[in-house]
A and B are shown apart, each in its own frame.
Chain A
Amino acid sequence: MQIKFKVNGEAREIEVTPFHRLLDLLREDLGLTGVKEGCGKGECGACSVIMNGRLIPSCLVPAPQADGAEIITIEGLAEGNSLHPLQEAFIETGAVQCGFCIPGMIMAGKNLLDENPSPNEKEVRTALSGNICRCTGYTKIIEAVMLAADKMDSKGSGSDE
């Protein structure tokens, strides 16, 4: 079947089968390999993307369900050469080691900050609880999201002045 949807702001039209997962559609058909597969069971969060404003594990979504949807992946965060504050913060805090969980972590962080621009640490921990990391021990990832919130907050107030 033919589906139409938007990925990272760009309109796409593509032929999919009911057996395709959204994850395969993004990785294989559209080449968005920043979306990672860790478990294929919706447990690890590595394949997280934002679909219609909700954080979802793309390994559990049949591709046809993306018809008409608006999807944001890790590839859609930076604007040209300028990184998203979350991306900057992950680099600055040393939150990245092997990096395999990071796209999903950043999407979970973005989903949180979109809804709650100044979260406390507990809210950050809850928002990232669906994402598994095996290298870092999470501390710096949590710091990174808190730092990103600060960065975005100061940017926000700056533009208001």
Chain B
Amino acid sequence: MTDANAAPTGAVLDTKHIVEALLFAADEPLTSGQLAGLIGETTPAMIEDIVRDLQTDYALQRRAFGIKRIADGFQIVTRSDYAAWIERLRAAAPRPRLSRPALETLAIIAYKQPVARVELESIRGVSVDAVLRTLLERGLVQVAGRGEGLGRPLLYRTTGHFLEYFGLPGLDALPKPEELEVLFADRERQEELEFDSGDAVAEESE
């Protein structure tokens, strides 16, 4: 499958190397669909296989970078071991992390979206006005329309930037409710209470 004659520089012009070149040059994650579209005559499933192949290559060759699945796409990123040196290259203080209220609010939105402000406030027990504004302005959440209830409240959902910010391949990469360690022991009792306020985090399956 190599086509060495066509490449004066000695490069190999098979699909695997084209995928590698595209991922190398792109400055944002590329989905398998995008890659298949750019290359032609391949399917997203084939791209997925090729990416896995490349990932194995990099791991075996102990490269300083790898291909990470972020926000539904693939991106070449350096391995975390080299972060300290790249921080030097960048010569800037690390950016601020999100505050605890912001993370809690995002967590609720991620599981309950689309969700109205009143529900966020009911779960957190505090006003989320300022936090929500910050999350909107940082592009981590967006308005997803209006709800049916009284006053047709605005509904919010997480954005693609949310996935990129946390390096998540998709929302399903977040822990499932049953994977959460329930700090309050005695799960049977919990079932007795017919935990029913919110299916996303409340389901009991053990």
| Chain B associates with chain A | no
Q: Which residues on B are within 8 Å of A, measured CB to CB? A: none
Q: Which residues on A are within 8 Å of B, measured CB to CB? A: none
